[in-house]
Amino acid sequence: MTHASRRTVLTALATAAVTGPLLGTVAAPRAHATDELDLYTSNTDLYKQLAGQEGTEFARRYKRHEFLDHSYTERHPYNRTTVLAMHGGGIEVGTSELCFGIAGYHPATLQPVDDGLGVHDYWMFEGLRSSNNRELHVTAKNNDDHVCLSMVRSSLNVLSLHGCTAAQAHTANPQAVVVGGLNERFKTLLKAEFDRAGIAWKDGNDPEVRDLAGVNPDNPCNRTMLDKGGQLELTTELRAAMFSVNTRAGRAGSTTARYWDFVRACRAAIARLHQDPDQVVL
């Protein structure tokens, strides 16, 4: 099978300031080939070149939930799914907040949401600059962060969140999501839930959006225990509709009904996926 590499997707605010304008007011640059514009060959390369600047230039946040089993006879829960935002903060705007929500946490308080669907592990890399966050972009297939990879390799499923524009998604509806990754079952469940929520989607298998399909086996979304996962590319306009204050400081506390519709759809799809036969670890 021939695998197309994920195209570097530049959002409308890839270089936006923390207090920058709304996404919908800025024209987005066109996409470029996978790592054509990347300044860093990998996350490790970025960490070395920006040594001492974590917390000011960029940040890494993650949560691995503690699971214990000291029983001889009973089985206890284990983590099945990890949610990723590899280009969060000011790089692909809104993906950090979505990562928290889909993992089961309110992005403003980081408290678990009360929907009965539990919580999931998450990992994110965020651009913290006031401008030029695009320079911090590392193409997904080149992500070699040891914590990120250790989490996805020990997960049955991954849902990875990215940003694109409506033009890159080739969709008539500007508020849409491209559903990709190598896990076709996961994609089917996600698309069904998006239909229920009234969220427009496009399948990554569509030739028009193969660059956004997330089908490279080196993409962390596919480096799971099952060698397949899910990837979502949300358009600029869809992400803009999810926040009434669309700045890095304001997004977490200004989530809209659109945000929660999207989060609930993803969480419902994950819950349904967990019922499948291949979700059992013997």
Q: What is the DSSP letter of 258?
A: H
CB 184, CB 213: distance < 8 Å: no
Whole-number Å distance between alpha carbons of 92 and 133: 9
- Angstrom CA distances, 261 to 101, 109, 157, 196, 258, stand at 11, 19, 21, 10, 5
pLDDT score for 20: 37
The structure tokens listed for 10 are: 């530049």
What six digits make up the tokens of 269? 């799809």
CA distances from 206 to 154, 171, 209, 216, 246 (A): 30, 11, 6, 15, 30
Q: What is the DSSP letter of 47?
A: H
CA distances from 69 to 50, 73, 81, 119, 277 (A): 40, 10, 19, 18, 22
Residue 89, pLDDT score: 97
User: Can you tell me the distance from the alpha carbon of 252 to that of 94, in angstroms, rounded to the nearest whole number?
Assistant: 9
Q: Which residues of the chain are under the pLDDT cut of 50?
A: 1-33
**Per CATH, is 51-65+76-276 categorized as 3.40.50.300?**
no
* 8 A C-beta contact, residue 180 and residue 231: yes
**Which pLDDT does position 129 carry in this prediction?**
96
